[in-house]
Chains A and B, each alone.
Chain A
């Protein structure tokens, strides 16, 4: 459905790359999340797909049609892509109804369709309001309704929840993705929040410094990250250095690097690899307590635990199956 082939974009004539040699494809109906820190190239990728920028190299195909290559450039108005911006970008001088009507003004049943999508996002009855009369969450829904109205073949949501507060966010996220999944549209959801990505996406793409470093299903990404960077995006991770390996008496393949998730450390439990340690500092963090440990072998190690009352001297360990192995 969406095919991207070695896409590159530089804003300074090749000195640095906002996007470098990115390739992937999505199938009809997929909901995929594009995850990366700010500056990782997420927004550039989105703008290239939508046709708001032209790439320096590579091709983009939507529904089998080339929309961007070295020879062709299909302008955004002819791509049938829907895009919901981070700041909603509603037309401030138009009512909700006019906003939604905007993209379908040449269709026959435009009024019925506009009404339909407004009902779909739960804003029926507010047609005559102006954007500034709405809350952030409501504006977000209008933006979604407006993007869905013309039945786009691809829907992109660019950081749609980052302007909302934490409580509203989780609720709206689930509601909106229920709507998206019900319409069956292929969707790309851009976020820097891995929790959001894990919650809604079938598939997750990780971007780092303009390069696509992993693309996989959510569960796989969590259990089999291909780099310590990806592993650390999905939770606190501790790198297992040579010294730590010997401290836990757990020699691993020296050609690879290794890490373990913090939650896989067990305190005072039976494990394959254990060592003893002295607690030298406790920091209360609400849900967790951070313990700064001094292992008997001399290394220091900070771990998080749910346990409130840990003795000063503990046994700590982990199992081999939880060790993450990376090729580089």
Chain B
């Protein structure tokens, strides 16, 4: 009898009653926020039904194979390069004591401060005719051998060298925090260093390494500036071409949809590789690793090996940029450039604020809803980070243009006013797109700090008669401030570096440092691109160092 009664309360009638009882404002608001974030992808999906554009057939016949081939090549080549550089440097830094190790630990992150397209400009300059490489060879009396960077091999190298820190950071975190007791066990059993690394640490670290790798591949697929400059046809450049040059939104939409499929395949592969792995955060493992102190020769060798990625990914390109900057300083650095920088910072600041607000509301509204399914779907909001900026931009343009057309017709009919496009090409569209793309960047640090606050603390507040919103401001906000601050900084950095999305959506009169650098470079004035590039790098570098300190803590 009892069993029958218990089953009965899960009949649809009961479920519906409970749904009515438990659906509060927060649940509805969470769904509204999610719809807002999902709008770009949805509008691409809807637009697919309108059919491909005229040139689609031509693209399928002549270019699609090129796009696919190049993108796959970049995934494989960049993937291999970042794994080699990232994992080896993480292991050496975590496991061995060598000169300047502490400095190297954070220097290895700095390549992330330089956007891929800027590294691409620098390397193009280094290996060009009359470039630094030629001058160097001639000064030591060698004959000039030209290395051609402007192809897919050069592109893979440039992207790999600037993105490997993602793999470095995630695998170093594993090697430093999780590995100690395993290493001790392995040492006790008398297993050598090399074997320990390949047989034990590498398989154990795989989930962490692959998580970093996936981030790299997302960035590779997102890149526009470097691929454009090196003349390599990728999906992103294809989307730009069909949008701007061919003026065929339908074709851009089809390419975007294909790119989304590729990205989500990668995400599924990542989930699949993690299926059997359980993360254990055993506290006894968190004591820091005992480093090996090798002999002098070996020490210097390790130092050199770790120096290579720092040199190639940071010192060399920055050196080239500084050299260029000295040549073009008088021409570029003027009051309008300062105004442009301020505009760029202001946009990044505003976006970071909006994104943090969005992340906080999404996290807390879903917590406050009493339905478990709301809590599960809220996480989907972070998938925007996986979608390349160009795709998000297209996905936002489509509904914005329709909205504008609608507004124009309303104003025309009712007030007889010609208002023109108000939303398309305004800051609203640009910041909306940034929020969708960078939500995950803010969501993850805020969520992880909020998980550190025991659930019983906000619960206590509510039991003491204080509602959700006041509980947030009085109890939770003070306790998750650090998470919010790092979320803010991370989004600020990402917006400052962002190129493809900004190029498509930026208002006509607005400019950013990234766009300025791109414009100089595409106008055959790559030397002039150095100053805006250095501005980005310096602004990004300070917080990167700061955040690395927090990671080490």
Contact = CB atoms under 8 A, between A and B. Distances in A.
B454 A89 contact: yes
Given A77-B462, A150-B464, A70 B21 contact: yes
29 contacts: A10-B6, A14-B9, A14-B10, A17-B6, A21-B5, A52-B463, A54-B22, A56-B9, A56-B18, A57-B14, A70-B17, A70-B18, A70-B21, A76-B462, A77-B462, A77-B467, A78-B465, A80-B465, A85-B460, A89-B454, A89-B457, A91-B457, A91-B461, A92-B479, A93-B479, A102-B474, A103-B465, A146-B464, A150-B464
Interface residues of B, number: 28
Interface in B448-486: 454, 456-457, 459-467, 474-475, 478-479
Interface of A: 8, 10, 13-14, 17, 20-21, 50-52, 54, 56-57, 70-73, 75-83, 85, 87, 89-93, 102-103, 146-147, 150
Contacts, number: 93
Given A14-B10, A87-B456, A93-B479, A54 B18 contact: yes
Contacts of B17: 70-71
Given A17-B6, A54-B21, A91-B475, A85 B459 contact: yes
Nearest to A86: B456
Given A82-B463, A89-B457, A91-B475, 20 more contacts: A8-B9, A10-B6, A13-B10, A14-B7, A20-B2, A20-B6, A21-B5, A50-B459, A50-B463, A52-B463, A72-B21, A77-B463, A78-B465, A87-B454, A89-B456, A92-B457, A102-B461, A103-B465, A146-B464, A150-B465
A99 to B, nearest CB: 9
B370 interface: yes
A290 B464 CA distance: 50
A21 B463 contact: no
Contact of A76 (B14, B22, B463): B463
A146 B456 CA distance: 14
Nearest to B22: A54
Nearest to A47: B459
A146 B464 CA distance: 8
Contacts of B465: 77-78, 80, 103, 150
Nearest to A71: B21
A17 B462 CA distance: 26
B491 to A, nearest CB: 25
Contacts of A87: 454, 456
A140 B10 CA distance: 40
A91 B242 CA distance: 56
A13 B460 CA distance: 27
A51 B9 CA distance: 20
A10 to B, nearest CB: 8
B503 to A, nearest CB: 44
Interface string B35-63: 00000000000000000000000000000
B269 to A, nearest CB: 29
